[in-house]
């Protein structure tokens, strides 16, 4: 068992390091017939691995490097630009508590045997209705945008 696992890992390592010289193509590896099952599976597997190609592209470019100092300075600048920091902290904490609470409720509902499938059907039905009612036609999209703007003004208290 250990010898088969190490052979499999070695074959995988060899396969991963081989770069093709041509475009990859689809490979068909037929399953062995029942009568010859004891003789050919390793031969077929070997053929499939030999004929399959794996394309790996590596880049050592400095353009894709991630600068944490730049990110930290950018976030610090944005945080300093926020006027009402307590409101942001309260909203962030409320969002975290809301996500935790939703996760707990979903976990409890998911443990009931038939209820998850029923809830999935209800969700799909509501999604279909919402798309038909608000997203399908241009006039209804405008109505949705105006409703969202009115809700934002109501929440912000500027109305």
pTM of the model: 0.36
Summarize pLDDT for 98-131 with one digit per residue, the tens.
Answer: 999 999 998 888 888 888 889 899 999 999 999 9
**Token duo for residue 4:** 């088969």
Q: pLDDT, tens digit, for every residue of 138-149?
A: 999 999 999 999
Task: State pLDDT tens for residues 20-59.
Answer: 555 545 555 555 555 544 555 555 555 555 545 555 555 5
Q: Which residues contact 18 (CB under 8 A, 6 or more apart)?
A: 53, 54
Q: Report the distance separating Cα 17 and Cα 8, nearest Å.
A: 14
Residue 16 pLDDT: 44
Cβ atoms 27, 48 nearer than 8 A = yes
Rounded Cα distance between 92 and 82, Å, is 14
The number of CA neighbours under 13 Å toward the Cβ of 133 is 7
Query: How is residue 116 written in tokens?
Result: 């998850």
């Amino acid at each position: 068992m250990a010898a088969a696992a190490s052979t499999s890992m070695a074959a995988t390592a060899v396969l991963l390091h081989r770069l093709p010289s041509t475009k990859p193509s689809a490979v068909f590896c037929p399953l062995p017939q029942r009568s010859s099952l004891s003789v050919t599976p390793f031969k077929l597997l070997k053929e499939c691995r030999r004929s399959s190609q794996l394309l790996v592209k590596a880049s050592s470019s400095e353009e894709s490097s991630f600068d944490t100092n730049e990110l930290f300075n950018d976030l610090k600048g944005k945080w300093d630009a926020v006027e009402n920091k307590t409101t942001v902290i309260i909203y962030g904490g409320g969002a975290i508590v809301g996500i935790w609470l939703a996760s707990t409720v979903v976990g409890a509902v998911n443990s009931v045997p038939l209820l998850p499938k029923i809830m999935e059907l209800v969700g799909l039905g509501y999604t279909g209705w919402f798309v038909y009612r608000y997203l399908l036609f241009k006039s209804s999209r405008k109505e949705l945008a105006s409703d969202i703007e009115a809700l934002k003004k109501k929440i912000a208290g500027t109305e």
